[in-house]
Amino acid sequence: MTQTDRLAACLAQIHTIMIGTTLPANIGSAARALHTMGLDNLTIINPRLPIDQSSIANAAGATCVLDNAVIADDLTSIINDCSLVFAASARSRQLPRPVVTPSMAADIAITRLLTAESLATTQAHSLPKIAILFGREDRGLTNEELALAHYHIQIPANPAYPVLNVASAIQVIAACFYERFSAQFAHSPISSTKQTQGVAQTQYPLELVVRSDWDAPAITHQQADELTTALIALMEQLDLVRDDKLTQLTNRLLRLNQRLQLDQKEYALMRALIAKISTAIKTAT
């Protein structure tokens, strides 16, 4: 496989997801921005208005992206098979996620894809699917949607007015991804040593380790959600939590799973451990 083929194969794993779009013209502008940067996978969740002539006009020569766009009404079902999810947001709300720049996000995605690519040469693994979420023109992403992401992408901008039009935000992030991916396949691969992306939270700085030495594929969002549900069920069995204490528990456990960056073997181990403990509790009672 040539470097050009590798670049195209990796870019094909990046899925752009627009949620609750108001203006069909913005969908067309986004399609043009994506196609210009070699990112042709577009999904639109619950658009207020369908793709129309204004979409086609703004897409210019990128109508192929509109023709192949997926229209869906449920975000979770779309990202269930994703192993990495980014959310574009001007700010973090409620429980914060690690915040990265577009370039940092691209490097994280490259590391994940190259690791999977190296495994695929010796094992029957495919490249992981990676999603980037973009919110509504008037209010962005909801807290629930932001909570689905492993990382939040914030575009460096004027702090007095950091809000970009959704199509403009897609253009900036897509350009960063294409630039970083192109540089990767034109030069030497990313080092296999561990890298850290530390993001200072308001009071508690958090060092994040981006693993580049996986020996099994990363778990999907659906598996992380299933593990969270199993952990809560076990905690309820142990009488560690009650219904009135579950308000933030689900979100915190999901964030913990995402931060741990579990692979398939670790996931299987955790599920087996939880099942064994649950069975022992039932037997004892």
Q: Are residues 34 and 168 in the same domain?
A: yes
Domain that holds residue 252: 221-284
Query: Do 21 and 83 fall into the same domain?
Result: yes
* For range 38-54, the mean pLDDT: 97
Task: Give the pLDDT mean for 222-241.
Answer: 92
The pLDDT assigned to 99 comes to 92
Mean pLDDT value across residues 7-19 = 96
Mean residue pLDDT of the chain comes to 87
159 and 96 co-located in one domain = yes
Mean pLDDT, residues 227-236 taken together: 93
> Is pLDDT above 80 for 92?
no
> What pLDDT shows up at residue 212?
65
What is the pLDDT at residue 231?
A: 94
Q: Which of 13-17, 116-120, 258-262, 273-277 has the lowest mean pLDDT?
A: 116-120
CATH code of the domain in which 94 resides: 3.40.1280.10
* DSSP per-residue string spanning the chain: --HHHHHHHHHTTEEEEEES---HHHHHHHHHHHHHTT--EEEEES-SS---HHHHHHHTT-HHHHHT-EEES-HHHHHTTEEEEEEE-SS--SS---EE-HHHHHHHHHHHHHHHHHHHTTSS-PPPEEEEEE-BTTTB--HHHHTT-SEEE-----TTS----HHHHHHHHHHHHHHHHHHHHHSPPPPSS-EE--B--SS--B--EE----SSPBPPHHHHHHHHHHHHHHHHHTT---GGG-TTHHHHHHHHHHHHT-BHHHHHHHHHHHHHHHHHHHHH-
Please indicate, yes or no, whether residues 132 and 229 belong to a single structural domain of this protein: no
Give the model confidence (pLDDT) of 247-268 as tens digits.
Answer: 688 888 988 988 888 999 999 9
Task: Tell me: do 155 and 226 sit in the same domain.
Answer: no
Are 183 and 230 members of one domain? no
Q: What angle do CA 55, 42, 222 make, to 5 degrees?
A: 145
What would the mean pLDDT of 60-66 be, rounded to a whole number?
96
Q: Answer yes or no: do 146 and 254 share one domain.
A: no
| In a domain? residue 263 | yes
In a domain, 197, yes or no: no
Confidence band, pLDDT 50/70/90 cuts, at residue 94: low
Whether 77 has a pLDDT exceeding 50, the answer reads: yes
Task: Name the domain count of the chain.
Answer: 2
Q: Are residues 179 and 229 in the same domain?
A: no
Whether 97 is covered by a domain: the verdict is yes
Judgement on whether residues 176 and 238 belong to the same structural domain of the protein: no
More confident residue, 193 or 168: 168
**pLDDT confidence bin for 90, thresholds 50/70/90:** confident
Question: What percent of the chain is modeled with pLDDT above 70?
Answer: 85
Query: Does residue 192 form part of some domain?
Result: no
Q: Looking at the structure, tell me whether residues 243 and 175 fall in a common domain.
A: no
* Tens-place pLDDT, residues 131-179: 999 999 988 999 999 999 999 999 999 988 888 999 999 999 999 999 9
- How confident is residue 115, by pLDDT bands cut at 50, 70 and 90? confident
Q: Contacts from 109-114 at CB under 8 Å and sequence distance 24+?
A: 109/14, 109/84, 109/177, 110/10, 110/180, 110/181, 110/184, 110/190, 111/190, 111/195, 111/210, 111/211, 111/212, 112/83, 112/84, 112/218, 113/10, 113/13, 114/10, 114/184, 114/189, 114/190, 114/212
Higher pLDDT, 129 or 243: 129
Q: pTM of the full predicted structure?
A: 0.81
Neighbouring CB atoms inside 10 A of 126's CB total: 11
Q: Are residues 12 and 138 part of one domain?
A: yes
For residue 204, being part of any structural domain is answered with no
Looking at the chain, the whole-number percentage of residues with pLDDT higher than 90 is 64
Q: Is residue 211 part of a domain?
A: no
Residue 109 falls inside a structural domain: yes
**In a shared domain, residues 12 and 139:** yes
State mean pLDDT over 107-124. 79
**Residue 215 is assigned to a structural domain of this protein:** no
